């Protein structure tokens, strides 16, 4: 059943006017390619604004000269707290806006259409009923990171492994496809609409599943191809899973390598770039010896065929939970007088990398976290950690090998990063990339994991972890051309929000319910407001009739990030907050 919520008088709109509106607002492939142009400047049509994932908007009505006058314009409460009495997960998405209509999802992945054209309030027009079973005891991480617009459909990928298309005008289900087929598989990231395809990444690698990227037909949802991030025996990369050494030849079947942040896309080469998660079990490398391709990697995949073009693995044989699912920024940069097509990435391992996106070759990297002890440095030729030994089945980085009987090791940055999966941003005007994350270290210990103890669909750590001391946060700025940090802003709490950049400001949210704007050069706070809902979602911006707004999703459970007791009693409330200058 579809639940529809209509504003007063909506029923009086004629079928003819609805048809015209649908035609005018169709989100075509051409519009998505042009999402960063002046013609689409007032809209935000995909999760990271543009295919390059830069999260940059040229809108500048709100700027460093008047941002201090910004006020709350309106707020919209959402559902997603069902079943009653259960704080149901995380609001981690980015609202999409097209010509005065906003599209958002709650933690269950349920899409909402909201009329924000007045600039004074948001009125929910429909809620698409995906028929998802709201089981609070299912054991999955309940989070949703947004939607995709494609043609006349709003696309959502659900934690139960289905992908659903809702009609953009009515909210009726157009198609509903079960894409995930194995126990424990599902989706948390926003789909990516590319041409006549919808790209989705399997998100539950830590649940002892095998990661994959799939392309679906945009009109029907039927699967066109699938690329597995953990190869089966005989496929390229399978030689890096030395399962036979363990007595468990099937260790690759629960190998992880999830994709839970939406990838980037280069229309010129028809290539999509996604980051992959850690191998599983995360703290027990003896269970799955080898480099474990294609985990902890950037993968470049041909959108037409689904074939791998290249990969770059950041931390082979990872045992510190340094998965690299986070945003991959695409830009054109001049290095030593040579113009290059570049992919840059704030690594969860505390290093900012730049690669040549035509072939994945390493260009440069730099430390951006305050403390980093897991490696002595990066080989300037290969981009590999200096301690990496390709002849060894188990790596021993600078903090020492993590073995089942080897005791605890302390790794910096924290096993959660650095910048985790929260979106980063790039300003093409000043050439600076921005990432928000956490500062601190963690203590990890391996424990033997028996194959029979990890049926697919069950979270398996293969050990334990804990924070060392107090974990705080920071915003980092890196000049991409030089690879050198240009600024840093300390925050009291870990940043679980992510970034937005406008010409002279950068924006983020905070766990204590504050949203803030910072000078794009100095990172000094230019404006902030506390609204009380913890933020694990990044800000975005849009305009209606020439008036600019900043919007952000708020609300999640488990707000005591980094063990901070002052946040422990924050309550769940799923909200959309919208701000403007009067």
Using alpha carbons, select from 445, 438, 393, 152 the residue that is nearest to residue 281. 445
**Cβ atoms < 10 Å from Cβ of 58:** 13
Domain annotation for the chain: domains and CATH numbers: 3-21+41-130+144-481+488-581 (2.140.10.10)
User: Torsions phi, psi of 341, nearest 5?
Assistant: -80, 120
User: Torsions phi, psi of 106, nearest 5?
Assistant: -95, 180
- The DSSP bridge partners found for residue 201 are 213
45 token code pair: 């049509």
Block residue for tokens 């830590």: 206
Residues in the chain: 582
227 token code pair: 């690329």
- Based on the number of CB atoms within 10 Å of its own CB, is 137 exposed (0-12), middle (13-18) or buried (19 or more)? exposed
**Cβ atoms < 10 Å from Cβ of 565:** 7
Block residue for tokens 């079960």: 178
User: Tens-digit pLDDT profile for the chain (582 aa)?
Assistant: 333 333 333 333 333 333 334 344 799 999 999 999 999 999 999 999 999 999 999 999 999 999 999 999 999 999 888 775 455 688 999 999 999 999 999 999 999 999 999 999 999 999 999 999 887 666 566 889 999 999 999 999 999 999 999 999 999 999 999 999 998 999 999 999 999 999 999 999 999 999 999 999 999 999 999 999 999 999 999 999 999 999 899 999 999 999 999 999 999 999 999 999 999 999 999 999 999 999 999 999 999 999 999 999 999 999 999 999 999 999 999 988 899 999 999 999 999 999 999 999 999 999 999 999 999 999 999 999 999 999 999 999 999 999 998 899 999 999 999 999 999 999 999 999 999 999 999 999 999 988 887 776 778 899 999 999 999 999 999 999 999 999 999 999 999 999 999 999 999 999 999 999 999 999 999 999 999 999 999 999 999 999 999 999 998 765 445 567 788 788 888 999 999 998
Residue 136 has what pLDDT?
Answer: 63
Residue 558 has what pLDDT?
Answer: 53
Please, are residues 321 and 296 in contact by the beta-carbon 8 Å criterion?
no
48 token code pair: 């990271």
Cα dist from 372 to 215, 352, 406, 423, whole Å = 38, 12, 21, 21
Identify the H or E element spanning 509.
strand 505-509
* SS3 (DSSP) at 274: strand
Residue 405 has what pLDDT?
Answer: 87
434 token code pair: 């921005």
Q: What is the pTM of this model?
A: 0.94
Residue 9 has what pLDDT?
Answer: 32
Residue 450 has what pLDDT?
Answer: 83
CA distance 575 to 78: 6
Block residue for tokens 């093409």: 428
* SS3 (DSSP) at 20: helix
CA distance 532 to 437: 20
- The DSSP bridge partners found for residue 264 are 273
CA distance 511 to 495: 7
> How far is residue 358 CA from its own chain's centroid?
23
């Amino acid at each position: 059943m579809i639940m529809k919520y209509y504003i007063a008088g909506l029923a009086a709109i004629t079928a003819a006017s609805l048809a015209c509106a649908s035609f005018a607002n169709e989100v075509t492939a051409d519009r998505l390619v042009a999402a960063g142009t002046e013609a689409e400047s007032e809209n935000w049509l995909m999760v990271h604004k543009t295919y390059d994932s830069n999260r940059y908007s040229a809108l500048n009505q709100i700027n460093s000269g008047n941002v201090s006058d910004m006020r709350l314009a309106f707020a919209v409460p959402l559902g997603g707290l069902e079943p009653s009495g259960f704080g149901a997960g995380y609001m981690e998405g980015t609202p999409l806006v097209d010509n005065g209509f906003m599209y958002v999802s709650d933690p269950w992945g349920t899409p909402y259409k909201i009329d924000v054209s007045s600039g004074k309030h948001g009125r929910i027009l429909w809620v698409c009923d995906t028929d998802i079973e709201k089981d609070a005891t299912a054991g999955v991480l309940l989070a949703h990171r947004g939607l995709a617009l494609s043609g006349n459909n709003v696309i959502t990928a659900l934690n139960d492994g289905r992908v659903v298309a809702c009609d953009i005008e009515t909210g009726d289900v157009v198609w509903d496809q079960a894409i995930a087929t194995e126990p424990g598989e599902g989706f948390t990231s926003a789909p990516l609409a590319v041409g006549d395809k919808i790209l989705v990444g399997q998100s539950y690698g830590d649940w002892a599943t095998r990661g994959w990227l799939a392309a679906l037909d945009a009109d029907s949802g039927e699967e066109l191809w699938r690329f597995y991030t953990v190869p089966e025996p005989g496929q390229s990369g399978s030689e890096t899973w030395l399962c036979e050494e363990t007595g468990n030849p099937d260790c690759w079947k629960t190998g992880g390598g999830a994709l839970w942040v939406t990838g980037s896309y280069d229309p010129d080469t028809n290539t999509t770039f996604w980051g992959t998660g850690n191998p599983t079990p995360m703290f027990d490398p003896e269970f799955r010896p080898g480099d474990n391709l294609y985990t902890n990697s950037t993968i470049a995949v041909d959108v037409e065929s689904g074939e791998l073009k290249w990969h770059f693995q950041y931390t082979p044989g990872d045992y510190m939970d340094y998965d690299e699912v986070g945003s991959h920024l695409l830009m054109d940069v001049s290095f030593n007088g040579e113009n290059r097509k570049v992919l840059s990435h704030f690594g969860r391992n505390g290093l900012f990398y730049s690669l040549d996106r035509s072939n994945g070759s390493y260009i440069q990297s730099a430390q951006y976290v305050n403390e980093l002890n897991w490696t002595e440095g990066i080989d300037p030729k290969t981009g590999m950690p200096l301690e990496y030994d390709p002849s060894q089945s188990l790596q021993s980085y600078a903090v020492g090998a993590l073995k089942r009987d080897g005791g605890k090791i302390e790794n910096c940055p924290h096993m959660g990063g650095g910048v985790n999966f929260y979106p980063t941003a790039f300003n093409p005007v000043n050439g600076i990339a921005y990432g928000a994350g956490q500062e601190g270290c963690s203590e990890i210990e391996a424990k033997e994991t028996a194959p029979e103890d990890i049926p697919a669909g069950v979270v398996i750590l293969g050990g334990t972890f804990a924070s060392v001391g107090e974990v705080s946060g920071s915003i980092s700025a890196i000049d991409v051309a030089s690879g050198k940090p240009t600024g840093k802003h300390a925050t009291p709490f870990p940043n679980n929000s992510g970034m937005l950049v406008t010409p002279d400001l950068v924006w983020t949210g905070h766990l204590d319910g504050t949203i803030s704007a910072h000078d794009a050069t100095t990172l000094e706070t230019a404006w902030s407001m506390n609204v009380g809902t913890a933020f694990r979602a990044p800000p975005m911006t849009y305009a209606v009739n020439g008036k600019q707004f900043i919007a952000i999703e708020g609300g999640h459970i488990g707000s005591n990030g980094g063990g901070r007791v002052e946040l422990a009693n924050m309550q769940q409330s799923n909200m959309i907050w919208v701000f403007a200058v009067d």
